[in-house]
Amino acid sequence: MSDTEEIIRIPTFIMGFDQEMEGGIPKDSIVLVTGAPGTMKSSIAFSCLYWNAIRYGRKGIYFTLEQSRDNLLQHINHLGLDFSKVKRHISIVDLGFIRKNSPLAETDAPLLEIFKTYAQNLKSSMDFDLLVMDSLPVLNLMTDLFKERRALFELLEWLRELEVTSFLISESPPEREEVNPEDFLADGIIHVKMARVQDVNIQRRIRIEKMRATRHSPHYFTLLFQDGEFQATRIIIDG
């Protein structure tokens, strides 16, 4: 890419958040969506696929390892996102089910290879633009992938060769003090956490920790969700 070539950006459709990173995520980036359980990481990632399909007709693949396809669909509909509106643009792939029931399972193929095979086949057949892997730690546990940093590097390079914008969901503690290998290798990191505001109030907050080729805010924002849409607002601290 030349210095003068305009960067195509993929909006997250979190109202008030995209403007904090020049309109969205640079196309074909690999972004970690990280945070503690209950911070709506999976919902954020699917919402991004959903609204990009609705507004721009972009195609997406959601690979799930932690819950079944039916459970994920139930959760999506409960959020107010009508999957029937995007089923021609978004495919949900239950890798756990495939691993148990596909012909590849009989060959003892590692989960990583099953993931790559399905991703490559779907790229050829539907030429999708966006990919979600939910989640990176489960892929780690089931494949012994991250014994060496080299293996993680090769996975991320393989994703770049697909020429898709990838969201890798990962668990992390509320305050991210340790730096993981994927933090260095990913193009972007979006961190979500639960913050205590008062004795009885808990607030979800979201921050862009890193985004290559992007001027972005380093600050946390309050993350709100209502009627199927996310919104990021400035944090108000009562004196």
Residues linked to residue 204 through DSSP beta bridges, in sequence order: 194
Residues linked to residue 223 through DSSP beta bridges, in sequence order: 232
pLDDT at 239 (0 to 100): 45
Residue 202 token pair:
């808990």
* pLDDT by 10-residue block (mean), the chain, 239 residues: 75 98 97 93 97 98 92 95 97 88 64 88 97 84 63 88 96 69 89 87 94 96 95 78
Cα-flanking dihedrals φ and ψ of residue 63, to 5°? -90, 120
What burial class does residue 208 get, using C-beta atoms within 10 Å of its C-beta: 0-12 exposed, 13-18 middle, 19+ buried?
A: buried
**CA atoms within 13 A of residue 157's CA, in its CB half-sphere:** 6
Could you identify the residue written with the tokens 């808990």? 202
Cα-flanking dihedrals φ and ψ of residue 143, to 5°? -130, -5
Calculate ∠ Cα 153-154-159, nearest 5°.
Answer: 100
Nearest-10 Cα torsion for 62, 42, 168, 37: -150
Which residue in 159, 168, 173 sits closest to 190, CA to CA?
Answer: 168
Contact (Cβ atoms closer than 8 angstroms) between residue 231 and residue 15: yes
**pTM given for the model:** 0.90
* DSSP annotation of 175: S
Give residue 184's identity as a one-letter amino acid code. F
Whole-number Å distance between alpha carbons of 101 and 159 = 25
pLDDT at 2 (0 to 100): 47
Contact (Cβ atoms closer than 8 angstroms) between residue 91 and residue 103: no
